[in-house]
């Protein structure tokens, strides 16, 4: 019989990296008879296997009140300290409730003691681990010291104590080499490297009837080339390079499609991209209103597609990011056997590039050589097929569920003493 495992975070809902990777971990654990339960402030998991505590969500008003008074400041009012302690004490009690209700034997902490989006929750988790000594795995996606907005703060004491905390019953997992080195250097904590993964052992199914009309619905003709930027519109995604690529390709048949909206970071960057595209004569399509987390119809009766409905229709993926914690969109492009242009961001250069993928790679700027590599992938079907098949096999070797299965077996055995994965 497997373990009863509780996943803990601020949010398990939607398509953010933490929610997606947690679901993959749960699937692999389930395959080996480990049963998963869920704790967060926002949840889309089944109510009978989860505990939703609104105060655990980083968007809760009390958490926002605290955040407004601790980030970008160097002094903390006693009232703020009291509110942190009060909320932390309450959240700790809910963790006891979660463990008792579902009779849990292991906890997997997903980013909640990594980045302090909800500081009281991290403090509560650290105290809970110390009080119960329950076997835990902390899965770290992005540390607070990787984010500029957390550099100036009034809570160094809490950050040192809980982000992340240390305990003999707590094992740590990170998603890239730089994080592994930083964690050892800054905290003296060893960790296991578990990259983000996809189920490369099971290729995606063919396009079904629902998604068969994607290109027509977004206005891409049968003789036109769809170049997909499958990200939100934020400056670190480097989308201006995708516009420059199409300008340098120099043919009106190339269309740039951007899947997601700007979100909560404002629309200045989106407006700049529109101006750049107009000046360069590039046809750019913003289709965020047609993309959702699930398939459905909008208020006008039009289909809403998922991001995975788009990939099979793309002729090329652009991923010219300046920074990524790992790069899920890169793996998704390989999974759907679509060629991808990538920028040599730091994590790619260290963790992914040495694996031997065949890609047009830009190093901060586009060269004519890179553009011609892209053109050949788009216009030479044999070369394109050989490239995407090679990349799929490389991804299957290094970023498949088999990799995750081996790593999780090691972690679970370390904290439980039982090799039952």
Comparing CA positions, the residue from 92, 102, 98, 103 lying closest to residue 126 is 92
Residue 150 lies in a domain: yes
* Same domain? 131 vs 159: yes
199, exposed or middle or buried, with CB in 10 Å at 0-12, 13-18, 19+?
middle
Q: Return the number of other C-beta atoms located less than 10 Å from residue 116's C-beta.
A: 25
Closest CA to 117 of 75, 171, 60: 60
Contacts of 171 (CB under 8 A, 6+ apart): 136, 137, 138, 191, 192, 411, 414, 415
* Integer CA distances (angstroms), 19 to 109, 112, 139, 143, in order: 12, 12, 12, 17
How many CB atoms neighbour CB 341 within 10 A? Answer: 24
Are 84 and 159 in the same domain?
A: yes
The string of DSSP codes covering 41-101 is SEE-S-GGGEEE-GGGSTTSHHHHHHHHTTBT-S---HHHHHHHHHHHHHHHHHHHHHHHH
pLDDT attached to residue 418: 66
With 0-12 / 13-18 / 19 or more C-beta atoms within 10 angstroms meaning exposed / middle / buried, residue 405 is: middle
pLDDT at residue 199, as a whole number:
94
Strand, helix or coil at 3?
Answer: coil
Kindly state whether residues 48 and 181 are assigned to the same domain. yes
> In this predicted structure, what is the pLDDT of residue 14?
79
- Domain membership of residue 21 (yes or no) is yes
Q: Is residue 420 part of a domain?
A: no
The number of beta carbons lying within 10 Å of the beta carbon of residue 125 is 30
Dump the DSSP string for 326-393: S-HHHHHHHHTT--EEEE--HHIIIIIGGG-----EESSS--HHHHHHHHHHHH-HHHHHHHHHHHHH
Is 409 within a domain?
A: yes
- Sign of the alpha-carbon dihedral angle for 263, 215, 305, 25: negative
* DSSP code of residue 109: E
The tokens describing 29, both together, are 């654990």
Residue 1: the pLDDT is 60
**Residue that has been written with the tokens 């950050």 in this structure:** 159
Q: Considering the domain boundaries, does residue 12 fall inside one?
A: yes
Range of the domain at 301: 210-398
Query: Domain check: are 32 and 135 in the same one?
Result: yes
Segments in the chain below pLDDT 50: none
The whole-number pLDDT of residue 263 equals 62
- Whether 76 and 123 share a structural domain: yes
Per-residue HEC secondary structure of 200-244 comes to: CCCCCCCCCCHHHHHHHHCCCCCCCEEEEECCCCCHHHCHHHHHH
Tokens of 389: 């098949």
Please tell me the predicted confidence (pLDDT) of residue 213. 95
Whether residue 94 sits in one domain with residue 68: yes
For 66-79, what is each residue's pLDDT tens digit?
999 999 999 999 99
Tell whether 392 and 407 lie within a shared domain.
Answer: no
Same domain, residue pair 294 and 241: yes
Number of domains in the chain: 2
Q: What is the pLDDT of residue 2?
A: 76
Q: What is the CATH number of the domain that holds 279?
A: 3.40.50.2000
Residue 204, in any domain of the structure:
no
In this structure, the answer to whether residues 272 and 123 fall within a common structural domain is no
Q: Are 322 and 343 in contact (CB under 8 A)?
A: yes
The answer to the question of residue 82 being in a domain is: yes
Q: Are residues 390 and 405 in the same domain?
A: no
Question: Is residue 392 located within the same domain as residue 408?
Answer: no
Q: What is the pLDDT of residues 249-298, one digit of tens each?
A: 999 999 999 998 876 566 889 999 999 999 999 999 999 999 998 899 99
Q: For position 16, what pLDDT does the model report?
A: 79
Does 281 fall in a domain? Answer: yes
Do 228 and 192 share a domain, yes or no?
Answer: no
- Enter the tokens of residue 207: 């396009």
Q: Under a CB-based contact definition with an 8 Å cutoff, are residues 352 and 363 in contact?
A: no
In this structure, the dihedral spanned by the alpha carbons of residues 248, 251, 257 and 258, taken in order and rounded to 10 degrees, is 20
């Amino acid at each position: 019989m497997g373990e009863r495992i509780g996943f803990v975070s601020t949010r398990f809902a939607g398509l953010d990296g933490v929610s997606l990777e947690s679901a993959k971990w749960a699937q692999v654990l389930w395959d080996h008879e480990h049963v998963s339960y869920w704790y967060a402030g926002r949840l889309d998991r089944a109510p009978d296997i989860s505990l939703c505590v609104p105060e655990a969500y980083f968007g809760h008003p009390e958490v926002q009140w605290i955040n407004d008074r601790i980030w970008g400041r160097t002094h903390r009012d006693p009232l703020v300290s009291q509110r942190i302690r009060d909320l932390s004490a309450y959240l700790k009690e809910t963790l006891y409730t979660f463990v008792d209700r579902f009779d849990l034997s292991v906890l997997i902490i997903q980013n909640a003691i990594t980045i302090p989006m909800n500081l009281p929750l991290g403090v509560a988790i650290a105290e809970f681990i110390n009080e119960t000594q329950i076997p835990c795995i902390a899965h770290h996606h992005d540390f607070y010291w990787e984010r500029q907005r957390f550099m100036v703060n009034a809570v160094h004491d809490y950050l040192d104590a809980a982000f992340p905390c240390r305990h003999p019953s707590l094992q740590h997992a990170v998603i890239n080499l730089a994080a592994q080195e930083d964690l050892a250097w800054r905290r003296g904590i060893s960790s296991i490297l578990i990259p983000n993964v996809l189920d490369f052992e099971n290729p995606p199914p063919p396009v079904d009837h629902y998604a068969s009309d994607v290109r027509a619905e977004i206005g891409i003709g049968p003789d036109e080339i769809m170049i997909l930027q499958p990200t939100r519109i934020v400056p670190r995604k480097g989308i201006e390079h995708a516009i420059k690529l199409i300008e340098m390709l120099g043919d009106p048949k190339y269309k740039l499609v951007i899947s997601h909206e700007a979100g909560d970071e404002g629309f200045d960057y989106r407006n700049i991209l529109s101006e750049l595209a107009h000046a360069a004569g590039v046809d750019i399509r913003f289709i965020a209103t047609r993309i959702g987390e699930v398939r459905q119809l909008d208020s006008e009766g039009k289909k809403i597609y998922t991001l995975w409905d788009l990939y099979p229709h793309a002729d090329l993926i652009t991923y010219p990011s300046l920074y990524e914690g790992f790069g899920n969109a890169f793996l998704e492009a390989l999974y759907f056997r679509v060629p991808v242009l990538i920028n040599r961001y730091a994590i790619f250069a260290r963790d992914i590039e040495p694996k031997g993928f065949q890609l047009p790679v830009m190093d901060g700027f586009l060269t004519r050589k890179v553009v011609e590599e892209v053109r050949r992938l788009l216009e030479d079907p044999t070369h394109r097929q050989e490239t995407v098949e090679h990349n799929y096999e490389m991804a299957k070797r290094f970023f498949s569920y088999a990799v995750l299965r081996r790593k999780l077996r090691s972690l679970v055995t370390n904290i439980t003493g039982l090799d039952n994965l």
